[in-house]
Amino acid sequence: MKMKKNLYKKTLILAASGVVLFTSFGFKSDFFEIAKQIEIFTTLFKEINMNYVDETSPADLMDTAIKSMLTDLDPYTNFWSEQDVQSSRINMEGEYTGIGAALKPDDDILLITEVYKDYPADIAGLKPGDKITKIGDTKVSDFTEGAQTLLNGSLNSEVNITYQRQGKTQQTSIKRSSVELKAVPFYSLLEDNSGYVVLSRFNQKAYEETSRAVKDLKSQGADKIILDLRGNPGGLLSEAINVSNIFLDKGELITSTKSVIEKYNKEYYTQKEPIDTKIPLVVLVNGQSASASEIVSGAIQDLDRGVVVGARTFGKGLVQRPKEIAYGTQLKITISRYYTPSGRCIQALDYRKRDENGEAVRTKVEDYNAFKTKNGRTVYDGGGILPDVRLESSEYSSITRALLEKNAIFNYATNYYYQHNVEDPVTYEFSDADFNDFKAYLKTSDFNYKTDTEQELEELLITAQSEGFQQDILDSYKQISTEIDKSKAEDLDNKKEEIKSVLQDQIIKHYFYQEGLYQNHVANGEEIKKAKEVLNNPGQYAKILQN
């Protein structure tokens, strides 16, 4: 009973801190209504824990309550545990003490998705695809979340790992070291004097590393720049402003933020002296370029400073800020929307509007609004940054996204690694014979996915049943489903080149780390070839920025 009373006390503290949080937002809601609802909730919480027929877990109940409450908002507003706060700090600061590997919780194991070259995990012989089952004497399955934090620790301390590789259980001991997560993992001077810079994340080192790379490339003779933001999920707003500042004059508006809370309505201008405002510039983006990546590419596009090449970006126009709550936890809350210099909000999903399944509604193309760049070019809001030069090779179809989401490509690449010998990342090519082998692999796996059409058909069937049209609709449904299944089988072949490219990338990373992947992209990537084509044709470059 004493333990429960302490838990109730903590809950009341959390509830009280919630009142402080809401009231600090300028009384945007009625204070009495907030206090009333908190009192109802805490009373309910106490009664359930004191009187329910079976033993309850106050922590689990609270976790469920918090997650359910946040479900009605956007997916970026989240409650962060102490482990989540620590993970975020590592991601933003770019340094931590650990083993040097990317990990993904998967059922009762931690799946190693990437090993960083020359860091402890790599030195110990761990590989992508290895499944960690025990850390020291602790089973990963005993943790509901946060097991990966056990791999971090003090410098030079050792941790014993038990893992599975290709069905066999193995053990190793790893000495932890300082791990640096570089914002710019690769840059190179290309043969045509283009400086190629990969910016993979907007952590606290993004501006420092990007500016250093640009300066170094210019000193080597670079007379044009390719900034690669493909797959960059974003990060710090301040770093997005500063990275834009590398190519834009001091005092340029990069973005503005708007909210119902007046103090979050701000304009953000460049504050530094630029490195080069004239050098021809191409920015590469794709569907995984989000948030801060869209701020940079949007500013470059709106101010006609460079040409954006690739595929439509993710479309995340929301700004989050962490708020301290209690006991080392945080609320990461969406506080505003951001707008590009021309006035665009590129947010693709409207979380204020939901369909019958409770899913956020995507802004339709016909509802996009037109805006003008500095030179008078027409650009649109509502669906990410649309590149000036679009490439199909940068766009992922539904079949490719499903293969990635369900780990089919990663798992095949892992098996491939143990069955083949690849000697050179630059010359390696995933062949047609390999692709046929991949299709055979899918037949033996449990891979399956639903198209948007299938989901809509299922909803239609449910509605038809409720209205008494079950048999008539069911016959048509079966016929259409058969055609869809046939079409899905053909999707693999129709998107063959796209899927082969993604498979090739993942396989190269298994053998040659990120560095090998970028070397292959420089030598063979369609996006880089197009970027060089645009940059090496001044007339075409100028025409794009004027049209």
| Long-range pairs, 84-91, Cβ under 8 A, ≥24 | 84/146, 84/330, 85/322, 85/328, 85/329, 85/330, 86/149, 86/152, 87/149, 88/322, 88/332, 90/181, 91/181, 91/201, 91/203, 91/235
In whole angstroms, give the CA distance from residue 252 to residue 245: 8
Kindly tell me the burial class for residue 20, based on how many C-beta atoms sit within 10 Å of its own C-beta (0-12, 13-18, 19 or more). Answer: exposed
Kindly tell me the burial class for residue 61, based on how many C-beta atoms sit within 10 Å of its own C-beta (0-12, 13-18, 19 or more). Answer: middle
342 is catalytic: no
Kindly tell me the burial class for residue 207, based on how many C-beta atoms sit within 10 Å of its own C-beta (0-12, 13-18, 19 or more). Answer: buried
Q: How far is CA 227 from the centre of its chain?
A: 18
In whole angstroms, give the CA distance from residue 112 to residue 131: 6
Sign of CA dihedral 147, 151, 157, 163: positive
Rg over alpha carbons for the chain, rounded to the nearest Å, is 26
Q: β-strand 186-189 against 194-198: which pairing, if any?
A: antiparallel
374 is catalytic: no
Phi-psi region of 171 (alpha: psi -120 to 50; beta: other; left: phi over 0): beta
30 is catalytic: no
Sequence length of the chain is 547
- Write the DSSP string, 508-534: HHHHHHHHHHHHHHHHH-HHHHHHHHH
Q: Which of 117, 145, 149 is nearest to 135 (CA)?
A: 149
Of 200, 211, 289, 291, catalytic: 291
Query: Do 523 and 188 touch, CB atoms closer than 8 A?
Result: no
Beta bridge partners, 114, equal: 102
In whole angstroms, give the CA distance from residue 197 to residue 232: 13
Kindly report the CA angle at 241 between 238 and 246, in degrees rounded to 5?
130
Residues near 208 by Cβ (< 8 Å), separated by ≥ 6? Answer: 183
Q: Which amino acid is at 344?
A: R
Of 316, 495, 509, 530, catalytic: 316
In whole angstroms, give the CA distance from residue 260 to residue 27: 11
Q: Where are the alpha helices (DSSP H) in 24-81?
A: 31-51, 58-71
In whole angstroms, give the CA distance from residue 296 to residue 282: 12
Kindly tell me the burial class for residue 121, based on how many C-beta atoms sit within 10 Å of its own C-beta (0-12, 13-18, 19 or more). Answer: buried
Query: Do 321 and 335 touch, CB atoms closer than 8 A?
Result: yes
Of 74, 84, 228, 302, catalytic: 302
In whole angstroms, give the CA distance from residue 291 to residue 304: 20
Q: Which helix (H) or strand (E) holds 501?
A: helix 496-524
| Residues noted as catalytic | 291, 302, 316
